[in-house]
Amino acid sequence: MAERLRLMAVHAHPDDESSKGAATTAKYVAEGVDVLVVTCTGGERGSVLNPKMDRPDVWANIADIRRAEMDAARAILGIEQAWLGFMDSGLPEGDPLPPLPEGCFALQDVAEAAGPLVRLMREFRPHVVTTYDEDGGYPHPDHIMTHKISMAAFDAAGVPERYPDLGEAWQPLKLYYDIGFSKGKILALHEALLATGNESPYGEWLKRWEGRPDKGPRITTRVGCAEYFPVRDDALRAHATQIDPDGFWFQVPMELQQRAWPTEDFQLVRSLVDSPLPESDLFAGVA
């Protein structure tokens, strides 16, 4: 019997797995791929972004609630999930920025913090790993740290002399950055909304983008997964403290999203197999 393919997606907080690459993971689960989401922190210092959930009882139990939300999202996506157990760093705001909390994820030594992820890679034995780029997708300290430990663990997991007490060496074959937003994607959705007589929530976003770098040219791999967009949105809504079901994320009609931009996009940054670019499959070249 052929070995099942395995995908590991490394994320910073509960809810990231549902807002970044979720339709792709749902697609691969449906196709028989084993998918493990690694959640680096518990999201304990996250904000409550849904006005309906902004209540004292929610704030008092935010850590437990976010774990329960992750349980619900995991069931919707059909994935496996593991916690690394680090403490959320929060998103510092102000000028000057306040220091990060003592003991938080972003202040850990990278080599030490990569250890638990190395152990998981050696236990789960993924063929493909996805994570964030060097700025974390957006510059949250936990997202940047997730990038750092993902790169370190990918490079160390297959070397027996590295972390020798953390299991038998296993080398993943490919590593991708999730490219959640590119100017081309936002422009396509914006123009599709206007063409159908709808208001677009993206106009101001596009104005702010002028003169700023666009990650679109970095995309190497576009995974067609439009039929799983509803699964993605159901998983997002499971994170009720983080997602307002009447908010920005759900203003674009589903059929229009599926037509205007039917893929989730990635950048291949490490590969030990022959997989000519561009790709339409994260497992291209993996036998």
Domain boundaries, the chain: 6-180+218-271
Instruction: Give percent above pLDDT 90 in the chain.
Output: 84
Q: Within 10 Å of residue 33's Cβ, how many Cβ atoms?
A: 18
Is the distance from CB of 111 to CB of 49 less than 8 angstroms?
no
Q: Classify the C-alpha dihedral 23-257-219-211 as positive or negative.
A: negative
Residue 197 has pLDDT above 70, yes or no: yes
Confidence band for 211, pLDDT divided at 50, 70 and 90: confident
Residue 162 has pLDDT above 80, yes or no: yes
- Average pLDDT of every residue of the chain: 95
Amino acid at the residue 113: A
In this prediction the pTM is 0.96
Amino acid at the residue 216: G
Task: Looking at mean pLDDT, say which of 7-16, 92-101, 202-211 comes out highest.
Answer: 7-16
Annotated binding site: which residue ranges?
Answer: 13, 16, 143
Query: Bigger pLDDT: 246 or 119?
Result: 119
Residue 1 has pLDDT above 60, yes or no: no
Bond before 141 cis per omega within 30 degrees:
no
Confidence band for 47, pLDDT divided at 50, 70 and 90: confident
Per-residue pLDDT, 130: 98
Terminal-residue alpha carbon distance, the chain? 13
Per-residue pLDDT, 251: 83
Q: Within 10 Å of residue 180's Cβ, how many Cβ atoms?
A: 17
Burial class (CB in 10 A: 0-12, 13-18, 19+), 36: buried
Mean pLDDT of the 206-217 span: 90
Amino acid at the residue 173: L
Residue 99 has pLDDT above 80, yes or no: yes
Q: Within 10 Å of residue 101's Cβ, how many Cβ atoms?
A: 16
Residue 6 has pLDDT above 90, yes or no: yes
Annotated binding site for Zn(2+): which residue ranges?
Answer: 13, 16, 143
192-196 contacts, C-beta under 8 A, 24 or more apart: 192/256, 192/259, 192/260, 193/252, 193/256, 196/253, 196/256
Residue 2 has pLDDT above 80, yes or no: no
Residue 37 has pLDDT above 80, yes or no: yes
Alpha helices in 61-182 (DSSP H): 62-77, 110-124, 141-156
pLDDT in tens, 8-32: 999 999 999 999 999 999 999 999 9
Is the distance from CB of 169 to CB of 160 less than 8 angstroms?
yes
- Pairing mode of beta strands 263-271, 174-179: antiparallel
Per-residue pLDDT, 77: 98
pLDDT in tens, 222-275: 999 999 999 999 999 999 999 998 887 788 899 999 999 999 999 999 999 999
Range of weakest confidence among 35-49, 65-79, 193-207? 193-207
Q: 6-180+218-271: what CATH class?
A: alpha beta
Confidence band for 210, pLDDT divided at 50, 70 and 90: confident
Number of residues assigned to the chain: 287
Strand 263-271: give its sheet, edge to edge: 80-86, 34-41, 6-11, 128-131, 174-179, 263-271, 221-224
